[in-house]
Structure 1
């Protein structure tokens, strides 16, 4: 029998997600199409549709993965030291993640994907879970703190990430954290 003449990816979904992350990192999510993704992954134009119903489904999967990685970064920062400085370490990790992953961060927080996601979707669950480490740490550091206090800190961090990403500030991550009370 003759050898098979087709190429098969072992995990096409992972290859497509990796290609989408690379495209988003290089050019932002707005220019990503299923056809450009297929080209980047080296597969037929129809191949992405075997794993994602459409572009929005693909972007939701990339954002979900981004939120899961973001949550892990925050949890690791919180656990790498004493409780007194845990919130500051998380703030530094938050800003560093946003700075290192600007376009992914924009997709996660500024694309409208999360507000439009179904309440039981993986994306909505991952986005909600990404806020929990900050909320837990804020209430652990000051039991009288409220949800509003955690939202204010989140807003400060988010604002700093976006201001830096858009070129309004040039400060280093740790210098930014030192300017706000954590």
Structure 2
């Protein structure tokens, strides 16, 4: 987080100007969500964590829901990048398995972000042409493409079932119902 100190001061308080305030706010929101969950995020807690004025977030986000939608959008973009990277790091035969492992690892490392992305209702309430809806839809494409490559006949249904398995495992692990390591789980899944 890069901060540039303004030479102007009022009393003993220095003012801070951020080169990319939107990114600073999104990063601060991600940290706050990771620590306290999305329900714990308020605009006041965000401004404290980011070290900016209380009015600063409103330059980029109309309200808390707009901010959460932007965080979820960034989460889906990162999630898609993780899946694509996993698919490209090896042969085509094991690409789907590598993606499944990457999916589970992303969910485990980013539990609260994952909940915001998949369990908050933000996507279902987003407009069909919103950045959030596009990012969420795009995150399914790598899995669909890999499943289609291996099973063209029932690709969409097969992709949905595999997605459901992975999503269920992430949520059950996050809620403390499953404690098995990812490697053990992958041994019994059909990936």
| TM-score of Structure 1 vs Structure 2, range by shorter chain | over 0.9
Counterpart of 1:140 in structure 2 is 149
Answer 1 or 2: higher relative contact order, Cα 8 Å, separation at least 6: 1
Whether 1:10 aligns to 2:14 is no
Counterpart of 1:79 in structure 2 is 88
Worse-superposed segment, 141-150 or 14-23: 141-150
1:145-160 correspondence runs (5 A): 145-160=154-169
1:1-182 correspondence runs (5 A): 3-5=7-9, 6-182=15-191
**What secondary structure, in the 3-state scheme, does the structure 2 residue paired with 1:181 have?**
coil
Whole-angstrom CA distance in 2 between matches of 1:85 and 1:11:
40
Whole-angstrom CA distance in 1 between matches of 2:185 and 2:171:
13
Aligned length in residues: 180
Shift of 1:4: 1.8
**What secondary structure, in the 3-state scheme, does the structure 1 residue paired with 2:8 have?**
coil
Whole-angstrom CA distance in 1 between matches of 2:16 and 2:76:
32
Normalising by structure 1, what TM-score? 0.97
Whole-angstrom CA distance in 1 between matches of 2:182 and 2:75:
20
Q: Following TM superposition, where does structure 1 have runs of at least 4 consecutive aligned residues deviating by more than 4 angstroms?
A: none
Whole-angstrom CA distance in 1 between matches of 2:183 and 2:120:
27
Counterpart of 2:12 in structure 1 is none
Shift of 1:35: 0.9
* Unaligned segments of structure 1, at least 5 residues: none
Q: What is the alpha-carbon root mean square deviation over aligned residues?
A: 0.8
Whole-angstrom CA distance in 2 between matches of 1:13 and 1:142:
42
* Unaligned segments of structure 2, at least 5 residues: 1-6, 10-14
Which structure shows the higher strand fraction? 2
Whole-angstrom CA distance in 2 between matches of 1:70 and 1:86:
16
